[in-house]
């Protein structure tokens, strides 16, 4: 009990828990989000905040169907070269200005042209955006894009007030969701407050929503158990039994769409000068050194699923035939020798949360047996997100929460101009496969194109997949109406807390 109180005191929540307003929803995050600008953001935890802060044109249902949000309806042209959206009436930005077609066009244009936008590759198929009347938005496409609705159901489809584009929206976003920005203290809290002009305000029941980053899974759970939090994301698999056996808590797990992987710095600056970057045989050896099943059992408590590709088994693009047979340290050593190395040293950069520390300590030990001397470099999550795009890594952690369409799980990471291609792997043949897979509607044809891409990817090995993510939420038992979604986001529509 003493250690529990110390952990809570360190997080500064004992007093806050007792004094918390009765209409406040308190959510514990694994990491601190990066910029709160949908066009520039990279982090998964940022998407959890955005789910309450910034409405999208389209959303998804728990069974992964597209449903209206700011767009009431949509229609794709018969030739696949345009998408027309009809906006709902009575929706407003947090500065009180109406959400109309001109403002949606401004947001999409910004996402496609902002120099540091991370949405460019997600909207790469869009040639232009038109606003023929206040409620109609037309996206003209360079080629058919089966993934476009999926992109518009995430950050590429989130709407900020255009009047605030030049006012650093990453620090103080003026968005369009059920809650508006109130304050942020880096690495401590993000506070949102109810937006009274929200078009669906009757289904949102809290005056404030407070997001608190807590990288330590034990501290996060202890705060939930003590009543300092109402919902936490990513309960550690080792803590599942604890939550299940606590009558004051509820477990809410769901199979996810995403994965954890490591990316090799192939050509992004001076730190790409490594044997891994120069020879695919060295990368293949590293891939063969890793035992995904051991990671699953030791860290995942059997709840992780070993991954060898970016598409989870629930995806139509998943193809078991492209997977490797498993760990083979002897073959890994042979590949290193063929490449002219007895042993290879490299640094592995990753986010400093409890789970990934355990994962990469295992990878370090496995690598040592196969001829790799791995030094571990844990970074605060925001620092990791800054280091990766500027090439300040040799091998780096890349986690992805997943998208409904398979293109969203790979395109931006592996194409030459992909906005999240931090390692700068570039292959014209791979780009061609990625573009073709986006442009056809037939799932069978797309599956074969993705299978070809995966065979090439496992030959080149610029990214090594580790495991698919389950989303495991913990809540107070008095939290009612919470539904876990496969994309891992926390949607507060219809959620209440008994007694509040």
Residue 20 confidence (pLDDT)? 42
Give the Cα separation of 253 and 484 in Å (integer).
7
Residue 326 confidence (pLDDT)? 80
Residue 469 confidence (pLDDT)? 86
Residues 155/41, Cβ–Cβ less than 8 Å: yes
- Domains parsed from the chain with CATH numbers: 2-53+177-248+477-497 (3.40.190.10), 58-164 (3.90.76.10), 256-470 (3.10.105.10)
64: left (phi over 0), alpha (psi -120 to 50) or beta: left
Tokens of 148: 């476009």
Counting Cα atoms < 13 Å in the Cβ hemisphere of 383 gives 11
Residue 10 confidence (pLDDT)? 47
The segments of the chain whose pLDDT lies below 50 read: 1-21
Residue 54 confidence (pLDDT)? 99
* Integer CA distances (angstroms), 220 to 46, 190, 474, in order: 17, 16, 10
Residue 342 confidence (pLDDT)? 97
């Amino acid at each position: 009990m003493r250690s529990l109180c110390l952990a809570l005191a360190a997080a500064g929540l004992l007093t806050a828990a007792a004094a918390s307003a009765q209409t406040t929803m308190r959510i514990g995050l694994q990491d601190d989000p990066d910029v709160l600008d949908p066009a520039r953001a990279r982090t998964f935890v940022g998407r959890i905040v955005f789910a309450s802060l910034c409405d999208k044109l389209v959303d998804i249902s728990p069974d992964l169907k597209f449903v209206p949000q700011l767009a009431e309806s949509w229609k794709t042209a018969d030739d696949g070269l345009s998408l027309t959206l009809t906006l709902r009436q009575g929706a407003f930005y947090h500065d009180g200005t109406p959400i109309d077609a001109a403002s949606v066009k401004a947001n999409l244009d910004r996402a496609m042209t902002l120099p540091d936008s991370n949405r460019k590759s997600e909207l790469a198929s869009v040639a232009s955006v038109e606003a023929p009347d206040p409620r109609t938005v037309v996206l003209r496409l360079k080629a058919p894009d089966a993934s476009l609705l999926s992109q518009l159901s995430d950050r590429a489809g989130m709407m900020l007030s255009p009047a605030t584009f030049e006012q650093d929206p990453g620090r103080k976003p003026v968005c369009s969701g059920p809650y508006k920005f109130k304050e942020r203290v880096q690495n401590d809290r993000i506070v949102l407050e109810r937006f009274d002009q929200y078009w669906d305000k009757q289904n949102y029941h809290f005056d404030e929503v407070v997001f608190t980053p807590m990288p330590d899974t034990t501290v996060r759970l202890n705060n939930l158990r003590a009543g300092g939090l109402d919902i936490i994301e990513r309960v550690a698999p080792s803590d599942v039994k604890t939550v299940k056996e606590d009558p004051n808590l509820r477990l809410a797990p769901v199979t996810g769409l995403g994965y954890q992987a490591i990316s090799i710095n192939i050509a992004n600056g001076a730190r790409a000068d490594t044997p891994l970057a120069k020879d695919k045989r060295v990368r293949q050896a590293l891939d063969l050194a890793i035992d995904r099943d051991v990671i699953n059992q030791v860290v995942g408590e059997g709840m992780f699923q070993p991954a060898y590709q970016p598409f989870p088994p629930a995806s139509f693009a998943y193809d078991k035939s492209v997977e490797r047979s498993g760990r083979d340290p002897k073959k890994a050593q042979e590949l290193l020798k063929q490449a002219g190395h007895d042993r290879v040293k490299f640094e592995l950069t990753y986010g400093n949360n409890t789970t990934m520390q355990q994962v990469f300590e295992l990878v370090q030990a496995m690598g040592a047996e196969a001829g790799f001397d791995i030094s571990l470099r844990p970074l605060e999550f925001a620092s990791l997100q800054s280091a990766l795009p500027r090439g300040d890594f040799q091998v780096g952690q890349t986690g992805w929460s997943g998208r409904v369409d398979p293109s969203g799980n790979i395109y931006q990471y592996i194409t030459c101009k992909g906005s999240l291609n931090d390692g700068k792997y570039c292959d014209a043949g791979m780009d061609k496969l990625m573009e073709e897979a986006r442009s056809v509607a037939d799932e069978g044809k797309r599956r074969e194109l993705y299978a070809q891409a995966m065979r090439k990817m496992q030959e080149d090995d610029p990214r090594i997949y580790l495991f698919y993510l389950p989303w495991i939420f913990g809540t107070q038992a008095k939290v009612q109406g919470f539904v876990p979604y496969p994309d891992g986001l926390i949607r507060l529509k219809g959620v209440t807390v008994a007694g509040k």
